[in-house]
Amino acid sequence: MSAVPRIAVVDYGAGNLVSIAQALTSIGAEVDFVRDGQALAGSDAVVVPGVGAAGPAMERLRQQGLSDPLRAWLAADRPFLGICLGLQLLFDSSEEDGAMMLGTLAGTATRLVDAPTLPHIGWNQVIRRRPHPVFDGIEDGADFYFVHSYAAAPQPGPDDEIVLADTTHGGTFVSAVARGALLGVQFHPERSGSDGLRLLGNFVDLVRAA
């Protein structure tokens, strides 16, 4: 594949796309904002950023004709990064708005348990369960920026193996998952300073190698 990967950043109507686009561009990727399913075709990777509430977000993906093309992209195990809500959308359903989601990963998005403050807003440590190249050059336990009230709860059983890292805010929740070419992070790498940029750079390297 080309030296400059083309990354489709899914634009589903709300939220900050400037930061993720700027971050990806600064580490050598070419970014296209994608608003419909056909537009995914020429891309080397797809990024679904974290915006809004689960119900309205899923509704917009459906209205824009993006939900089925995204499911197909994920089923083909093509490079993918879901950020915050973009991670939660990969699961079957969410407690937030009772939304039905993409269903690529087995499990639900649930409200954070025993959280002393909610939403969970700020910098917290990401503790790895297993090594993965997306964390190359980043210390285990490094701080990343979170802003959310819900988190992915993968179905217990074999799918637990998808969990890459956990974070504790009262209770412990899943803060990163990986399966094949799919990556999902509950935190915002595009807002997490130099470690965040390094993680995105590692993702772009994985896309280049794919």
Q: Which CB sits closer to another protein, 50 or 79?
A: 50
Stretch that binds another protein, among 10-18, 66-74, 157-165, 202-210 (CB under 8 A): 10-18
Among 24, 86, 138, 148, binds another protein (CB under 8 A): 148
Q: Which of 78, 128, 169, 179 binds another protein (CB under 8 A)?
A: 169
Q: Is 2 exposed, middle or buried (0-12, 13-18, 19+ CB in 10 A)?
A: exposed
Work out whether 22 is an interface residue with another protein (CB under 8 A). Answer: yes
User: What are the φ/ψ torsions at residue 40 (nearest 5 degrees)?
Assistant: -70, -25
* CA terminus-to-terminus distance, the chain: 8
Q: Contacting another protein (CB under 8 A), which of 10, 34, 47, 51? A: 51
* Identity of the residue, 143 or 205, whose beta carbon is nearer to another protein in the bound complex: 143
- At residue 159, what is the residue type? D
Q: Give me the long-range contacts of 131-136 (CB less than 8 A, separation at least 24).
A: 132/164, 132/176, 132/178, 133/202, 133/205, 133/206, 134/164, 134/176, 134/178, 134/183, 134/199, 134/202, 134/203, 134/206, 135/164, 135/165, 135/199, 135/202, 136/198, 136/202
127 binds another protein (CB under 8 A): no
* 188 assigned to active site: yes
CA atoms within 13 A on the CB side of 147: 13
Element (H, E) at 209: helix 193-209
Under rule CB under 8 A, residue 179 binds another protein: no
The yes-or-no answer on residue 169 being catalytic is no
Residue number, 73 or 150, with CB nearest to another protein: 150
Q: Which is nearer to another protein, 19 or 155 (CB)?
A: 19
Q: What angle do CA 189, 132, 161 make, to 5 degrees?
A: 105
Q: Residue 121 Cβ, how far from another protein at the closest point, in Å?
A: 5
Q: Which is nearer to another protein, 110 or 162 (CB)?
A: 110
Active-site annotation holder among 96, 120, 169, 190: 190
The residue from 84, 96, 120, 148 that is catalytic is: 84
120 classed as catalytic? no
Which one among 37, 52, 71, 92 touches another protein, defined by CB under 8 A? 52
Residues identified as active-site: 84, 188, 190
